[in-house]
């Protein structure tokens, strides 16, 4: 195989090596050219040198290149995998969380939803729009895979900024269900077929089929899920808020309390503030640990004492980028439980100009969502609120409109007033002025 795969944001120790791990495990992609691209030359060089060492251990299975020149990286690309961040991610995330709450917002996390998620989107969307516009000019037939959050908003900005690029957004939150369902049903996951729909970090399990018998397993799930997940309660996963939404709306949200609560006005009522702070701290410590680990391996490499077993795993990461690339190449018509793609008549009672998280099939022509029809009215109602906010969020950043930006903040269920929105906007604009668009 002689494909060119470009990893944008490859200098990240949480992105570059794990993605190469999955690529390395692929026999389909053997012989491909992997191009590492990042604006941080120092971190890019560290990852490149580590991966060169790994590649040599495996008989140079791939051709590896690195460059800070995006145009050079994109030339002739078949697939692009994007996972960039802007600035000091954890420092900015803490600002996203703390400043809106200081002004009275009830937001619980500030990563992808609420006013914090909105500012996250406003920082990261402009450089991603630049990337996809470059790609549309340089390699218009390439397929783009996005991992950058806030997923729904980033993908909506991509949709509105380019016309020809095929793309998909990927998130691993469905992994919770992949881990739990085999225990609940005492069946391997490859015998269970899930059907999902909603928005990223705000999606629901709508269908569940036993592939060995064709039986509908949703009735059993609805009758037993609450007791099972209560026994296996985890504060960073399925806890009080998930259970409350399941009981009140009749469908199970598979994304976990900390993400689900970002979009709901009553999120704070059923979550603990300290749990959210602990989650942000956990992510920060995990990232620092991973960076130190790779830095230590790089130092050993420079001393000629690189570990014989290397640093890559023999098990896949669980991310779906490489399986999707393989399915496109081999035209396998494979099934993906949860991807992020434009609505395009998949769900009738949500805006068509919206990025859904839904089930899909994959073949040589790309990723194709499974038709849902109409969602239950109560589920559609809460999703439409967030859809409206996302619409304004993207319009504000693409047009650099201060008026639309403040309106976007004001109508958020975790804000609810123009006075609070203006106060949040003014302070965040000042403290993050080096990263935000120049709203006018």
Catalytic residues: 172
Taking alpha carbons only, the member of 35, 37, 33 closest to residue 69 is: 37
Q: Burial level of 384, CB count in 10 A (0-12/13-18/19+)?
A: middle
CA distance 161 to 131: 11
Give first-to-last CA distance, the chain, whole Å.
49
33 neighbors 63 (Cβ within 8 angstroms): yes
The DSSP output letter for 146 is E
Q: Which residue has the tokens 């109560």?
A: 378
Residue 355 in 3-state DSSP?
strand
| Calpha distance 159→322 (Å, rounded) | 22
Cα separations in angstroms, 255 against 148, 156, 190, 353: 17, 20, 20, 23
Angle between helices 151-161 and 114-138 (to 10 degrees): 40
CA atoms within 13 A on the CB side of 162: 24
Count of CB atoms situated within 10 Å of the CB of 125: 25
Beta strands 355-363; 366-369: pairing state: antiparallel
At 315 the three-state DSSP class reads coil
- How does DSSP classify residue 262? G
Two tokens at 96? Answer: 């996203």
Q: Which positions ≥6 away from 315 have C-beta within 8 Å?
A: none
| Alpha-helical segments (H) within 211-361 | 218-231, 240-249, 257-260, 273-302, 321-330
266 contact partners, CB below 8 Å, separation of at least 6:
244
């Amino acid at each position: 195989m002689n494909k060119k795969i470009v990893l944008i944001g490859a200098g990240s120790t949480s992105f570059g090596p794990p993605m190469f791990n999955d690529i390395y495990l692929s026999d389909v992609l053997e012989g491909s050219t992997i191009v590492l691209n990042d604006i941080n030359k120092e971190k890019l060089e560290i990852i490149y040198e580590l991966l060169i060492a790994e590649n040599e251990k495996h008989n140079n299975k791939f051709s590896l290149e690195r460059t800070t020149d995006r145009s050079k990286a994109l030339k002739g690309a078949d697939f692009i995998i994007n996972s960039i961040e802007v600035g000091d991610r954890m420092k900015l995330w803490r600002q996203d969380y703390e400043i809106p709450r200081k002004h009275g917002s009830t937001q619980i996390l500030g990563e992808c939803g609420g006013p914090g998620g909105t500012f996250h989107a406003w920082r990261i969307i402009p450089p991603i729009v630049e990337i996809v516009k470059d790609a549309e000019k340089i390699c218009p037939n390439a397929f783009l895979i996005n991992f950058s959050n806030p997923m729904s908003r980033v993908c909506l900005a991509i949709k509105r900024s380019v016309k020809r690029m095929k793309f998909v957004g990927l998130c691993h939150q469905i992994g919770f269900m992949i881990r739990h369902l085999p225990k609940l049903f005492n069946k391997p996951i490859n015998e269970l077929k899930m059907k999902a729909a909603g928005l990223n970090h705000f999606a629901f399990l709508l269908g569940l089929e036993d592939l060995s018998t064709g039986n509908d397993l949703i009735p059993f799930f609805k009758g037993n899920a609450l007791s099972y997940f209560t026994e296996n309660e985890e504060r960073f996963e399925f806890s009080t808020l998930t259970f409350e939404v399941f009981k009140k709306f009749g469908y199970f949200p598979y994304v976990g309390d900390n993400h689900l609560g970002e979009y709901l006005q009553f999120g704070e009522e059923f979550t603990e503030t300290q749990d959210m702070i602990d989650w942000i701290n956990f992510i920060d410590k995990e990232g620092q640990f991973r960076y130190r680990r790779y830095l230590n391996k790089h130092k050993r490499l420079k001393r000629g004492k690189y570990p014989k077993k290397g640093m890559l795993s023999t098990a896949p990461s669980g991310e779906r980028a490489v399986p999707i690339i393989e399915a496109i190449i081999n035209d396998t018509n494979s099934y993906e439980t949860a991807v992020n793609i434009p609505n395009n008549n998949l769900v009738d009672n949500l805006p068509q100009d919206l990025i859904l998280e839904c089930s899909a099939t994959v073949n040589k022509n790309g990723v194709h969502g499974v038709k849902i029809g109409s969602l239950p009215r109560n589920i559609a109602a809460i999703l439409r609120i967030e859809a409206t906010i996302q619409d304004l969020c993207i319009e504000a950043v693409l047009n650099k409109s201060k008026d639309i930006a403040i309106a976007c903040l004001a109508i958020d269920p975790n804000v609810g007033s123009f006075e609070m929105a203006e106060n949040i906007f003014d302070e965040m604009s000042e403290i993050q002025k080096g990263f935000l668009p120049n709203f006018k």
